[in-house]
């Protein structure tokens, strides 16, 4: 077989496999949107029906009225934005020090950071709750925001690997020109790491936006609830309002899709880009 034909055939097969895989991933989203537009009788029908008949757009308005949607949305946005800001400000700084600065105990502390990544969240859940309860933060969004300003081990590791790919000659040239270490980081290294920082920010945004366990543990006042907790209120002793729940779920998911759509190029660069321009 001709080499060019073989390469084209491999590309075609690859694309077919990717299309099939993407279809498997998108099916749950399509079903969620479809369910959000169905009357309850059709939601429970068997065999399942993909197309709503009729399209019940009022599910979205009813869902907004069923729970204090905009209050929960505001709480979710505040927690998500501040936790993302904390990660974006602190993690690159720590990662840069691990990658480019020489200081006593650096390797030991980095080893501890890697070790922390291996500890399941369920192990630290109770000790953290006791600490936050002791200082009076339980019942407020502070436990969901403040820890992000002290760095996240996985993001630090990811950014450190990126900074290691940046050439040391950039730092050397800046030092010759009299730049301080912080100025080198802020004006030279950090702009080069923009794709990786945005990727980390996107990771944190998605994690905080969809977080359920954190708000469930620390938020006790219903006026502070997030959208993920608000979904629980569609489950009652009389059953579950599936159409309304899926309507809110769709409204929660769409911002993530839009955000990834506009940042996908930067997101991919953050994972694969070497940092050298």
pTM comes to 0.85
Q: pLDDT tens digit string along 66-93?
A: 889 999 999 999 999 999 999 999 999 9
Q: Per mean pLDDT, which range of 24-33, 220-229, 250-259, 261-270 is the poorest?
A: 261-270
Whether the predicted pLDDT of 272 surpasses 60: no
Nearest to 160 by CA among 119, 111, 120, 205: 111
For residue 1, what pLDDT is reported?
Answer: 56
pLDDT band at 224 (very low <50, low <70, confident <90, very high): very high
Q: Average the pLDDT over 90-102 and give the result.
A: 92
| C-alpha to C-alpha distance for 212 and 29, rounded to whole angstroms | 19
Return the pLDDT at 91. 94
CA distances, 11 to each of 8, 20, 38, 162 (Å): 5, 14, 40, 30
Contact 37, 55 (CB under 8 A): yes
pLDDT tens-digit readout, 2-19? 677 777 888 888 888 888
Predicted confidence at residue 242, as pLDDT, reads: 83
Q: Say if residue 277's pLDDT is above 50.
A: no
Per the prediction, the chain carries an average pLDDT of 86
Instruction: Give dist(CA 38, CA 244) in Å, integer.
Output: 9
pLDDT of residue 276: 44
Backbone CA torsion sign across 101, 105, 111, 115 = negative
pLDDT, position 261: 79
3-state SS assignment for residue 139: coil
% of the chain exceeding 90 in pLDDT:
35
Tell which wins on pLDDT, 237 or 183.
183
């Amino acid at each position: 077989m001709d080499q060019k034909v073989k390469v084209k055939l491999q590309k075609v097969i690859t694309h077919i496999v990717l299309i099939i895989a993407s279809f498997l991933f998108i099916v749950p989203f399509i079903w969620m949107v479809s369910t959000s537009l169905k009357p309850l009788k059709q939601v429970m029908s068997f065999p399942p029906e993909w197309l709503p008949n009729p399209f019940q757009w009022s599910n979205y308005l009813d869902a907004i009225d069923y729970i204090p949607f905009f209050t929960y949305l505001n709480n979710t946005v505040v927690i998500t934005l501040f936790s993302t800001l904390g990660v974006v400000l602190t993690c690159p700084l720590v990662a840069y020090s691990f990658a480019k600065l020489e200081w006593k105990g650096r390797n030991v502390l980095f080893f501890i950071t890697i070790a922390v990544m291996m500890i399941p969240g369920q192990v630290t859940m109770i000790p953290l709750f006791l600490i936050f309860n002791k200082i009076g933060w339980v019942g407020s969004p502070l436990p969901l925001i403040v820890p992000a300003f002290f760095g996240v081990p996985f993001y630090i590791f990811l950014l450190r690997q990126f900074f290691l790919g940046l050439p040391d000659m950039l730092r050397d040239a800046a030092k010759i020109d009299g730049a301080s270490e912080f100025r080198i980081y802020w004006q030279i290294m950090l702009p080069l790491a923009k794709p990786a920082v945005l990727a980390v920010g996107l990771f944190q945004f998605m994690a905080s936006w969809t977080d359920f366990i954190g708000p469930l543990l620390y938020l006790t006042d219903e006026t502070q609830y997030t959208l993920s907790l608000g979904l629980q209120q569609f489950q009652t002793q009389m059953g579950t309002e599936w159409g309304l729940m899926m309507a809110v779920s769709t409204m929660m998911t769409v911002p993530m899709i839009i955000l990834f759509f506009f940042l996908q190029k930067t997101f991919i660069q953050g994972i694969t880009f070497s940092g050298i321009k």
